Amino acid sequence: GQNNLNAKLVLLGDMGAGKSSLVIRFVKGQFLEFQESTIGAAFFSQSVSVNNATVKFEIWDTAGQERYHSLAPMYYRGAAAAIIVYDITSSVFAQSQFACNPNMVMALAGNKCDLEDKRNVTAEEARIYADENGLFFLETSAKTAVNVNDIFYEIAKRLPRA
């Protein structure tokens, strides 16, 4: 009915940024120190309730490895939302190859925020990048669960309703 919505969501970002870990934290409430690198892509689904509506996310967790990059547009196409994930400890803040699509709700997740002592990307520089590109920004930790549900709830709230 009017209060139920299916939304395709895609996770994008470099290998090892923590895309799978964020999804597994959100869907299963679990975290693995030795999460295996994704091959191709993995599918998950999870529902959230916001503002008297249920949003069922159909989540495509893409593979960050270079050899799978050509597949990403296939998962990106037709998606209602995207989360671009980077690792706050990575030495290069690789700017996303995906321009913001005005028809999509897009989030930037600075993941591994539990590793403050190894931080290389400041929240300020990421926020500026997010503002310039029409993304909303949160720092997350799949390990401690900080802001993980929040990012999915915030997306659910921002999705256009029929």
One residue of 109, 142, 151, 156 binding ligand GTP per CB under 6 A: 142
Task: Give 13's strand partners.
Answer: 85
Q: Which range binds Mg ion by CB under 5 A, 12-20, 23-31, 102-110, 123-131?
A: 12-20
Q: Is 21 in the site for Mg ion (CB under 5 A)?
A: no
Q: Which residues pair with 55 in a beta bridge?
A: 5, 48
* Residue among 83, 88, 46 at smallest CA distance from 158: 83
17 vs 138, which CB is nearer to Mg ion? 17
- The b-or-e profile of 29-41 (16+ CB within 10 A means b, else e) is eebeeeeeebeeb
Check residue 21 for interaction with ligand GTP (CB under 6 A). Answer: yes
Q: Of 58, 71, 76, 114, which lies in the binding site for ligand GTP, with binding defined by CB under 6 A?
A: 114
Q: Which is nearer to ligand GTP, 96 or 111 (CB)?
A: 111
How many residues make up the chain in this entry? Answer: 162
The whole-angstrom separation of Cα 115 and Cα 120 is: 10
Contact 22, 140 (CB under 8 A): yes
CB of 141 vs ligand GTP, minimal distance in Å: 4
Binding site for ligand GTP (CB under 6 A): 13, 15-21, 32-35, 37-38, 63-65, 111-112, 114-115, 141-143
